[in-house]
Structure 1
Amino acid sequence: MAVGEQGKSRKAVTAAVVGNVLEWYDFAVYAYVAAIIARKFFPAQDEVTALLSTFLAYGLGFLARPLGGIVIGRMGDVSGRKNALLLTMFLMAAGTVMIGLLPTYESIGFLAPLLLVVARLLQGFSAGGEWGGSTAFIVEWAPKDQRGYYGSFQQTSVVAGLLLGSGVAALMNTVLTAPQMESWGWRIPFLIGGILGPIGLYMRRTIEETPAYRAVSEGTPTPPSPDAAVSPWLLAGRAFGFTIVWTVCFYVLLNYMPTWTQRYMSLTPSQALWANTIGLLALMVAIPVMGRLSDRVGRKPLLIACCLCFIVVPYPVFSYLLSANVSLGSLIAVQVLFAIMIAMFSGAGPAAIAEIFPTRNRSTWMTTGYALAVAIFGGFAPFISVWLISTLGSPIAHTYYLVAAAVVSTVVIWQLRETAFEDLQ
């Protein structure tokens, strides 16, 4: 890649990454104040049922992701990656502000949880198009021998958004009293997201289309695809199976973790959120390292290693966390361990999943396969975790879900060919 193109590449990827941070801050902050939302929007129920209802509303937002993935993904292939990313930024900001301004159940009754679901559906529709659109955009701008490294910044920005959300929620719980947080403080993280939205929109207006997309649009010959005769439905199916462990470990060990540690380790909200924030920081640092490593050793070694770790590690580690006299420092060490495990997949994953598809339909089919897996297995991961723990009567029953997801993805990834050293289709 020429020097001028490298400059454009860095500028375009930076704009995409910053926008992605703001997108995922908006989408994730809901989970970090879930306990308060449960009391505000589902008050006439016992604690477990209210929490289940809150995470059900959280999961319903993911049901809109496949639709958003199909609609906005198709828009990215037909009208360009840039236009698709502008639309996702606008929709996410709108849904986030809506949650921050919603009246509670006490004020408007059943309309409150109904409008909460509508706002989550709007966010979910946006997120469905954002992940695939930003992944395609970043990987297509990357030099051939750095697709893993460049692509890892897509996941780094996702984690940075989660980190920002966790950090803001932790800060609110630290500087505000419990009654203040309960009364009005829970709204602040959502309103901050609405303020940041225009910043992301401005930055994305300045980016150019990717060289790969321009080449396909202009009819420039591209490298022949080994999968040229493979149905796009089958390719999307591969992306679906590829994503299962990725999304389950992400939403169980990052989004649900603060709720679990508060409930079963008797930590304060502030302690649980700060431990989660440190784990997210470790993950954000580790992802680019793993992405760069995948450019050297290939994608599959890291992806398979991650899956095997999630088959073996979760049960004994969560059993340890429930043992007597486990300190906050021990919890932080565990969250850093999980972060390194997730980073093996999140570093290599964006490039690996993008490399499954040809440029002409990458946005549509990659986003569809990914978003379906996230909607089914990731969005309801906190709900399924709470349900498993309640049904089986064990605080570590949610680890069975992690193990099952890892087994399925191991089978799928084992059958993929290594694409790290090939030209982008």
Structure 2
Amino acid sequence: MKKLVRFQLSLMMFLEFFIWGGWFVTLGTFLADNLQATGAETALAFSTQSWGAIIAPFIIGLIADRFFNAERILGVLHLIGAILMYMMYSSVDFGSFYPYVLGYMVLYMPTLALVNSISFAQMKDPSKEFSNIRVFGTIGWIISGVVISTVFAWDAPEARAEGMLKYTFLMVAIASAFLGLFSFTLPKTPPSGKGEKITIKDILGLEAIGLLKNRNFFMFFLSSILICIPLAFYYQNANPFLAEVGMGAPTVKMAIGQVSEALFLLLIPFFFKRYGFKITLIAGMLAWTIRYLLFAYGNADELVFMLYIGIALHGICYDFFFVSGQIYTDSKAGPKIKSAAQGLITLATYGVGMLIGFWVAGQISDMYLNADGTHDWTNIWIVPAGFAFVVMIIFAIFFRNEKVEYSE
């Protein structure tokens, strides 16, 4: 790969995830502080990610794969996204904010697939080259947390009291406009399915539905949906929780989770080889339970180390279940339905599973809201801890151990 192309793809990935991390991490805190949103309203805002994940295949399948170059669609989506971000920055109540965040996520979620498509099109051996490009996305997410917490300190208590978190949307609007314009300079990526007939069944990955006849794959599929319910608690509540209990610079400290994610990704081959797929997934689910118990009983004072450990467990929570699950899905699907199988899992998890999870998290947050506006976080975190443990037990009992090949 030419150095210029490598630089372009790396910058594209950096900006793509800088944009996501630059507002989504602090969204729950912003909604509570700036718009006085309830738990149910916060759940509505976060669930736009799920609606975006559900609608994204239609945009990619019906438009990107058939009619227009991927880099041009990426540019248009981010330019429109910049406008919507600015409107979110200008919103003064949840009623005016919600339509913009919904529209934004419907447009943003397809870009996650587009940046991958653009990258893969320039690679001779994606299995070896892609990780070196994708890591800049993780770096972008981390840097967004550093900018919010350290450079501008928008999530500091006094800044939050003045409503400064709204500037995260302005920052992201600028970054999105830049990426939108920059996208038109990216290597040309013509539509891969131009002239081909495509059906709704193809778009949703439903041709992979036959995999569910396999008992093990069905249990994995069901567990993937269910484990997304406690996952939603983390995305929706972690930043407001850390801010409310008094942890300084919570956004940059949550970036420890992204560092952990990058490190534990390197350990997956070792776990696969040493312990097998089933134990690796069980370890991931158990980590969710441990993480939430640490959040439930830790604090920002003498037990702050428990909060740090809980954040750092993100690598095991995410990589050992979701990345391992992608590998397992790839191994179970034949060559003709590999993409369809991955699409089906994505639709089930980020679509259906997290849509349910955000709603549940919102209801639980409102249930344990105190009269003074604070929350009973111990009881809030006990719910996903117990749920994740039950899912782990069900998976351990009904999933028969099998060997899964993993190519390093």
Partners of 2:98 and 2:166 in 1: CA distance: 16
CA contact 1:352–1:420 (8 Å) conserved in 2: no
- How far 1:189 sits from its partner (Å)? 0.7
Cα distance change on mapping 1:150 and 1:413 into 2, 3 Å: farther
Counterpart-to-counterpart distance in 1, 2:315 and 2:338: 32
State the AA in 2 paired with 1:332. Answer: Y
In 2 relative to 1, CA 330–373 (structure 1 residues): closer, same or farther, beyond 3 Å? closer
Q: CA RMSD in A?
A: 4.6
* 1:151–1:351 Cα contact (<8 Å) kept: no
Q: Which moved more, 1:253-262 or 1:180-189?
A: 253-262
Q: Which amino acid aligns with 1:277?
A: A
The reply on whether 1:397 has 2:397 as its aligned counterpart is no
Residue number in structure 2 paired with 1:13 = 9
User: 1 CA distance for matches of 2:238 and 2:400?
Assistant: 27
Aligned residue in 1 for 2:282: 308
Report the CA distance shift for 1:231/1:395 in structure 2 as closer, same or farther (over 3 A): closer
2:127 aligns with 147
Residue deviations 1:139-159, cap 9 Å, x none? 454444x527625854x4554
Which residue of structure 2 lines up, in the alignment, with residue 67 of structure 1? 55
Is 1:38 matched up with 2:32?
yes
| TM-score, normalising length: structure 2 | 0.71
| CA distance in 1: counterparts of 2:206 and 2:365, whole angstroms | 40
Report the equivalent of 1:52.
Answer: 40
Contact 1:169/1:189 (CA < 8 Å) preserved in 2?
A: yes
The 2-side partners of 1:62 and 1:251 are apart by 10
Aligned match for 1:131, one of 106, 109, 112: 112
1:191-206 alignment, distance < 5 Å: 191-206=170-185
Cα distance, 1:313–1:351 mapped onto 2, change above 3 Å: closer
Decide whether the 8 Å contact of 1:65 with 1:126 is kept in 2.
no
What is the aligned partner in structure 2 of residue 109 from structure 1?
A: none
Look up the match of 1:378: 354
Distance change >3 Å, CA 13–CA 335, structure 1 → 2: same
How far apart, in 1, do the equivalents of 2:120 and 2:222 lie? 20
Partner of 2:292: 318
Amino acid at match of 2:44: L
Report the equivalent of 1:108.
Answer: none
Q: Which residue of 2 is the match for residue 122 of structure 1?
A: 103
CA contact (8 A) 1:89 1:201 kept: yes
User: Could you tell me how far 1:310 is from its partner in structure 2?
Assistant: 3.2
Cα distance, 1:59 vs structure 2: 1.5
Task: Determine which of 90, 94, 105 is the counterpart of 1:101.
Answer: 90
Question: Within 2, Cα distance between the matches of 1:414 and 1:163?
Answer: 36
Q: Please tell me whether residue 92 in structure 1 is matched to residue 93 in structure 2.
A: no
CA deviation profile, 1:397-416 (whole Å, cap 9, x unmatched): 11234346667888899889
Partner of 1:182: 161
Q: Distance in 1 between matches of 2:4 and 2:337?
A: 22
What's the offset of the Cα at 1:195? 0.9
Matches of 1:61 and 1:337, distance apart in 2:
23
The 5 A counterparts of 1:279-298 are: 279-287=257-265, 289=266, 294=269
Query: C-alpha displacement at 1:11, in angstroms?
Result: 4.7
Q: Which amino acid aligns with 2:286?
A: V
Contact 2:25–2:251 at 8 Å: present in 1 too? no
Residue 342 of structure 1 corresponds to: 318
Larger displacement relative to structure 2 (5-14 or 118-127): 5-14
2:209 to 214, 231, 234: 234
Structure 1 regions of 5+ residues with no counterpart?
44-49, 105-111, 220-229
Where structure 2 has 5 or more consecutive residues not aligned to the other structure, the ranges are 197-204, 369-378
Provide the rounded CA distance (Å) in 1 between the counterparts of 2:393 and 2:118: 30
Say which SS state the counterpart of residue 47 (structure 2) adopts. helix
CA separation of 1:310 and 1:177: change in aligned 2, threshold 3 A: closer
**Which has the higher mean CA deviation after the structures are superposed, 91-100 or 401-410?**
401-410
Check whether the contact 1:73–1:367 (CA below 8 A) recurs between aligned residues. Answer: no
CA contact under 8 A between 2:56 and 2:110: conserved in structure 1? yes
The one-letter code of the counterpart of 2:319 is: A
1:63-89 CA distance string (max 9 Å, x none): 243123312343221134323322332
Alignment match of 2:255 (pick from 272, 277, 280): 277
Deviation at 1:232, TM superposition (A): 2.8
Measured in 1, the distance between the counterparts of 2:73 and 2:130 equals 20
Secondary structure of the 1:208 match is: coil
Query: Could you tell me the TM-score, scaled by structure 1's length?
Result: 0.69
CA deviation digits over 1:23-47, x for unaligned, max 9?
A: 4235xx144142342344346xxxx
Between the aligned partners of 1:77 and 1:323, the Cα distance in structure 2 is 48
Pick closer, same or farther for the CA change 1:277–1:22 going to 2, 3 Å: closer
Change (3 A) 1:360 1:319: closer
